[in-house]
Structure 1
Amino acid sequence: MLRTALVWGGIVTAALLVAGAAVGFAVGGAPGLGSALAGVAVSAIFLAVTAISILVANRWYGDPLYVPIFFGIVLGGWLLKLILFIVAIAVLRGQDWVDLVVFYVALVISVLASLAVDVVVLMRMRIPSASDVTLPTDPDAGDRRA
């Protein structure tokens, strides 16, 4: 499920990069182009970190320490994203080539598109709602009652 979301997220990100580049250049020239590309790229990188951290953390499934390992990896990914996001915004904010409005709009549209992809992937996944179910065996073996 997460791999599917990453693949579709990559496709949507590529489309947003092209559309953002065109719209950003039309609205703000070269600074608008760079700002749109930076906004989409920042959003794509940070949104992919969560899915990747969950995929990595799931490799320890079945281990007695699975739960603490899982939450440690995912929480570590979130903390890394928070720190990197603050650094990215601080660095990009002071640049002359960044049009803050185009950057913000590209960032918000990219986040909304990524969330839409996640919702569509989750709605279309076929995940069983029951687990650890023991089904009856052959009725001739005497396991079922008539």
Structure 2
Amino acid sequence: MTAPVSSTPVLRAALLWSAVVTVVILAGAVVVGALIAGANGAWSGAVGAAVGAIFPALTAVSILLANRFYGHPAWLQIFFGVVLGGWLLKFILVIVAFLILLRMDWVVAPVFFFALLATAVASLVVDVVVISRMRLPAVSDTVLPERSSPDEV
């Protein structure tokens, strides 16, 4: 068994804190949406906050999934295949979600947009704070070769 990849604790912390911040923003978006446009506004705020949280989280989840193959001879190919495949899937899902949601009669577009924007910005802030506070070695996941004798230079 090899040592875990050093990005794993960072991604787990980012996912955890993003979930906490998302719940706070979702509650605020529901309240503000309800005050602005009633039940339709509340649902628009909730869906906007959820969409704004799910799609950034998919990237971290795909990296965590790919990191499970660390140590496999084809780890790099698996990693990039999973991450890029996840990114392409996410790209398609975002387009489809927006096309479907923005055609619904109950969606209040400004409430949806600002809830989505607030969650996306909060996700970026959480990522920056988590990464800046994590203590990672300057050279991670690297094993240096041992010298065979003390006379070697």
TM-score (norm 1): 0.88
Q: Are residue 54 (structure 1) and residue 54 (structure 2) matched?
A: no
Q: Are residue 117 (structure 1) and residue 117 (structure 2) matched?
A: no
1:24-103 pair list within 5 angstroms? 24-103=33-112
Moved over 4 A (4+): none
2:6 aligned partner: none
1:118-133 pair list within 5 angstroms? 118-130=127-139, 131-132=142-143
Q: 2:116 aligns with which of 96, 101, 107?
A: 107
How many Å apart are 1:134 and its aligned residue? 7.6
Instruction: Look at both structures and tell me which one has the larger radius of gyration over its CA atoms.
Output: 1
- C-alpha offsets along residues 15-36 of structure 1, whole Å, 9 cap, x if unaligned? 0111111111111211111111
Question: Is the Cα–Cα contact under 8 Å of residues 59 and 87 in structure 2 kept in the other structure?
Answer: yes
- Say what the alpha-carbon RMSD is for the aligned residues: 1.9
**For structure 2, which runs of at least 5 residues remain unmatched after alignment?**
1-9
TM-score (norm 2): 0.85
- The total of aligned residue pairs comes to 139
